[in-house]
Structure 1
Amino acid sequence: MPITIADVAARAKVSKTTVSRVLNGKGELDESTAARVRKVIEELGYVPSSRAVGLARGRTRVVGMLVPSLTWPWIGEVLQGAVDVLETERYGLLLFTCNRGAESMRQFGAQVSAKSFDGLLVIEPEGTLDYIATLHARGLPVVLIDDRDHQPGQIPSVGTTNHTGAGAAARHLLSIGRTKPLVVAGPERFGCTVQRLDGFAAAFAEAGHPIAAQRVLPGDFTIACGFEGVQRAIETGVDFDAVFAHNDLSATGAMQAVLDSGRRIPQDVALVGFDDIPLAAHTQPPLTTVHQPLREMGEAAARMLLAHFEGTPLPNRPTVIPATFTARASTGAEPEATHP
């Protein structure tokens, strides 16, 4: 049978409360009594429940993380960044997804009510922002890892420079003489889509090449939307010499449509994505893309939360980690030419 705190108390001839105080370093105790309890703990090989000790200290040493789904191709990088920090500081991670919609959120809510974690990292599942804001307002420390740029200001957040990154993509294409791009956009409801479109269009307009509406293709961040959108543009006779896709998956689909049409990349069509997921370096040709600092965002969010546990107030302004631009062969660059 497992050794319990009651066994330790009985052997040491003290109360369970006294054993608990020794374990947690709380309360005034006679040193000889504390030494006797520690000796009994060693003799019996008693290992306290980490959860029980955490609760006694008012801390679980567990961080919750809420994400839409693990199938999103960049989620893993953000998650790894957070885990690297948490494990180093001996915190656990309790991961929640919204794969089953309302049922998933009910289970998540039950864990919130049970105070199963000390704070929460969030990659916002659609439709949950008001609920997350309410949790934060009620005292749960929350840090939003945000790729959409529409979070309420009262929630601390870590994000990147979507507008600037898209502008870098535009200037790169202009520098190699491409003035007739197609844009495969993301979902209109996402703030990152608006920022990427605005940043890209602004750079082209400033260079004297405004982007007509018919050159912006609706998309949903999937391979299929990139393929079908570019294929449709080819079939309807739209003249283009470049494609800027709002993520690497839709860029991969666009690449296939271009190659299937007999055009060459980058000689006939230069192609740029956004995110720099691991796939981007292994397409044929390798994909030029805007590098989102995904792992760094996860690390920064986790550090922010842990610092708060030690008394540092959560920041009231977004923390922004700049995106960078990685030029590869899909725009004619040498491999792995990375620029700010």
Structure 2
Amino acid sequence: MGVTIADVAARAGVSKTTVSRVLNSKGEINENTVLKVRKAISDLGYVPSAGAVGLARGTTQMIGMLIPDLAWAWAGAGIVPAVIETLETEGFGLRMLTWNHGEESLRRLGLQVAAKSFDGLLVIEPEGALGYITELHEAGLPVVLIDDRFQRPGFPYVATTNREGGAQAARHLLEIGRRRPLVVTGPDAFGCTRERLGGFVDVYAEAGIEIDRSSIICGDFQFERCRSAIAGALADGLEFDAVFAHNDPSAAGVLTALHEAGLWVPQDVAVVGFDDVEMASYTFPALTTIRQPVREMGAAAARLLLDHVRGVPKAAPSCVIPTSLVVRGSTLRPSPN
């Protein structure tokens, strides 16, 4: 059984009502009592429930942002800088919270909420925490998810068109005559993986080409796994003239494996990635990819959250920003001068 408000009260030597008042900053409370309660919360690792917190807060001019970790490439590629720029323009600061220590991260988040450290919360990939985040939203904390997995939670989100992105990749490959594609997917559990694959497969089906299951390989968004997957496919004699990789690091692994096998890109095999992170223009050849509008998503999420924090009438519930195709050398050779 988890730590309860009664446990905190016993540790601090106060009543449960006093603990509740400290959590909600209600009424006049002796400063020493507040310090004892907060120390008990920290010592016990108590995570306040959304109901216990009550969220009867004033304004702090701060926004919290929960991300998997500071090295998360998708976030650092444009999401976080765009969030910071938008918030600073509106006179708000940003408090970063990482999610790389499981229950300990959840405890820290609970303490930040209890301390009313921010007016609203931006979230990326809350694996294992979506239920608690939903509770916070339902109890009154403004929350916006920057959705990289096609989660579609019960609170506002900003997302992109993953299915259409997959369809854009397929249409481009068909336009350049590639009829035997291999797909290197992200993790099977991610909604974005299913969306990207579905859009890609549907366009090929409309062209009368069925993509066999043997031509769909899970790469888990990882460079080395995708490199090994392509090497294995070639060793098994699988014939393909194109690869659609579900993110750019995966596509970089594909390019490396093809180069090691003595194949030319795009002459022998055309390659399309997804995201358009900075590295996509630095690969050799430069990577054709589906641009995920990460900066726009970060800015839109920050503006949407601020609307909800400020109680703007008719604030939008969610926002979807479209993908776009960026064509580079991995699918089209430059025209001769």
How do 1:28-67 residues align onto structure 2 when only pairs under 5 Å count?
58-67=58-67
Contact in 2 for aligned 1:246/1:274 (Cα 8 Å): yes
CA contact (8 A) 1:157 1:319 kept: yes
Partner of 1:271: 271
Matched to 1:192, the amino acid is C
**1:92–1:112 CA distance, 2 compared to 1 (3 A):** same
Q: How do residues 181-220 of structure 1 correspond to structure 2 at under 5 angstroms?
A: 181-220=181-220
**Hey, what does 1:321 align to over in structure 2?**
321
Shift of 1:202: 0.4
Mapping 1:301-320, distance limit 5 Å? 301-313=301-313, 317-320=317-320
Rg larger in structure: 1
Partner of 2:94: 93
The 8 Å contact of residues 304 and 314 in structure 1, kept in 2 or not, is answered as no
Deviation at 1:73, TM superposition (A): 1.3
The TM-score, its normalising length taken from structure 2, stands at 0.80
What displacement does 1:143 show?
A: 0.5
Query: How many Å separate the matches in 1 of 2:281 and 2:315?
Result: 35
Aligned to 2:31: none
Tell me by how many angstroms 1:104 deviates: 1.6
1:82 and 2:83 are equivalent in the alignment: yes
Residues 314, 134 of structure 1: alpha-carbon distance in 2 compared, 3 angstrom cutoff? farther
**Residues of 1 paired with 2:90 and 2:258: CA distance?**
48
CA contact (8 A) 2:123 2:145 kept: yes
Answering whether residue 106 of structure 2 is matched by residue 105 of structure 1, we say yes
Partner of 2:252: 252
Answer yes or no: is 1:178 the counterpart of 2:193.
no
Alpha-carbon distance in 2 for matches of 1:116, 1:229: 45
Alignment check: 8 A CA contact 1:219 1:225 kept:
yes
Cα pair 1:155 1:316 within 8 Å, conserved: no
Aligned residue-pair number: 278
SS in 2 for 1:329: coil
CA distance change for structure 1 residues 73 and 334 in 2, over 3 Å: closer, same or farther? farther
Deviation string, structure 1 residues 22-74 (Cα, Å, up to 9, x no partner)? xxxxxxxxxxxxxxxxxxxxxxxxxxxxxxxxxxx921000000011222212
Q: CA deviation at 1:221?
A: 0.5
Q: Which whole-Å CA distance do the structure 2 matches of 1:333 and 1:95 have between them?
A: 43
In the superposition, the TM-score normalised over structure 1's length comes to 0.79
For the Cα contact (< 8 Å) 1:67–1:123, is it kept in 2?
Answer: yes
Unaligned runs of 5+ in 2: 1-56
2:239 maps to a residue whose letter is: D
Q: Give 1:312 shift.
A: 1.4
- In structure 2, the CA distance between the partners of 1:124 and 1:270, relative to structure 1 (3 Å rule), is same
State how far apart, in whole Å, the 1-side matches of 2:236 and 2:97 are.
Answer: 44
Q: Letter of the aligned partner of 2:301 in structure 1?
A: A
Matched residue SS, 1:331: coil
Cα distance in 1, alignment partners of residues 316 and 295 from structure 2: 22
How far is the alpha carbon of 1:210 from its aligned partner?
1.1
Question: What pairs up with 1:18-37 in 2 under 5 angstroms?
Answer: none
Matched-pair contact (CA < 8 Å) for 1:156–1:315: no
CA contact (8 A) 1:96 1:108 kept: yes
**What letter corresponds to residue 142 of structure 1 in structure 2?**
V
Check the 8 A contact 1:156/1:314 in 2, yes or no. no
State the distance in 1 between where 2:62 and 2:219 align: 37
**CA separation of 1:119 and 1:334: change in aligned 2, threshold 3 A:** farther
Give the distance between the partners of 1:75 and 1:265, measured in 2 at CA. 29
| 2:330 match: secondary structure | helix
AA aligned to 1:271 is V
Counterparts of 2:191 and 2:329 in 1: how far apart (Å)? 29
Q: CA deviation at 1:257?
A: 0.4
Percent sequence identity is 53
Q: Which amino acid aligns with 2:82?
A: G
Work out whether residues 129 and 151 of structure 1, in 8 Å CA contact, stay in contact via their aligned partners in 2: no
Paired with 2:313 and 2:261, the residues of 1 have a C-alpha distance of 56
How far apart, in 2, do the equivalents of 1:155 and 1:111 lie? 20
Q: In the alignment, is the contact (CA less than 8 A) between 2:266 and 2:333 conserved in 1?
A: no
| Aligned-partner Cα distance in 2 for 1:78–1:314 | 25
Matched-pair contact (CA < 8 Å) for 2:169–2:200: yes
- Alpha-carbon distance in structure 2 between the residues aligned to 1:247 and 1:237: 24
Q: Measure, in 2, the Cα distance between the counterparts of 1:187 and 1:316.
A: 31
CA distance, structure 1, for counterparts of residue 193 and residue 61 of structure 2 = 36
The CA distance in 1 between the partners of 2:331 and 2:93, in whole Å, is 43
**How big is the shift at 1:206?**
0.6
